[in-house]
Amino acid sequence: MQKKNTAVVAIGGNFLSDGKSTSEEQMNRAYKAAQLIKILVNRDFNVVVVHGNGPQVGMTYLRQLAGEKADIPPLNLALCNALTQAEIGTMLELAIINTINREKPDFDVLTLVSQVEVNRNDPAFKNPTKPIGPFLTKGEAEAVKKKFPHWSIIEDSGRGYRRVVPSPVPIKVFSSTSIADTFKTADVIIAGGGGGIPVVRNPEDNTFELVDGVIDKDRTAYLIAREIKATHFFLLTSVAHVSINFGKPNEKSLFDITVKEAKTYLAEGHFPAGSMGPKIEAAVKFAETTGGTAIITNADHIADALEEKEGTRIHL
């Protein structure tokens, strides 16, 4: 049902799986995510959940390639995105319903399959930066590179090696304007999963076609937050708040910063493109276009962030 406040919550794919998790382990993590949503629901929020799919889409694609040995044609990366939307959406929807329905029997959750338009000339297609799949040791990465020499594999923030794929900037989320209307019947909506299924427009006849890539879910979450005029925008990550000079002796925690300050830190290169960078960019755009405040924090501190006791708040 329609509530006074609406929150868009961007949850990373790494929160739901490390790329090697079993179905049972992923379901358990979905229940942990549901507890976060319950915090907002109990504070009278409508909630849109936008989940990542980096680990999951990488593993899904590897399964497709493994099937070639049995002469089963593999699906492309775009359709692997679609599979993960259904997979993760199903787990989150069930976990949220089971977590909240005990207290609110009429509570309703809806999962939407979301296609997202990108520019076919986006430079990201020539410069892959989005990590997907499991973390690998150096030896594992070398073995994968030998098997798939056309793949780009990089070291990811000191946590291991991962494949990187194009991550084009989202232009438009299909049906995003109808999400607000859906709150007339649903309390929580899961949309834009994995950043959306990327498609490009054919200018000759105004049709669309699938394209390989993985859109950053934080950027897609911003578009949804803007379209539905969300009052709150949460970008969940692995740390309680943002820092500059991360991991260095002069590391500095950031709890409350302006858009201008955030842009300066971005320009100085404090936030890598494949990790914190898109979160800061999405937060800045949300604050600029809506006048609202974006909050970056981790799962353990979402309640504290609501009370301004933790997290990084970005505003005008």
CA–CA separation, 52 vs 192, rounded Å?
9
Dihedral angle over CA of 237, 239, 242, 244, nearest 10: -120
CA–CA separation, 227 vs 179, rounded Å?
9
Which residues carry out catalysis? 13-14, 130, 217, 279
Q: Which residues pair with 173 in a beta bridge?
A: 116
How far is CA 97 from each of CA 42, 143, 208, 211, 219, rounded to the nearest angstrom? 14, 42, 34, 33, 27
Q: Within the chain, how many helices (H) and strands (E) appear?
A: 10, 17
Do 33 and 108 form a contact (C-beta atoms < 8 A)? no
The count of C-alpha atoms lying within 13 angstroms of the C-alpha of 204, restricted to the half-sphere facing its C-beta, is: 1
CA–CA separation, 44 vs 73, rounded Å?
47
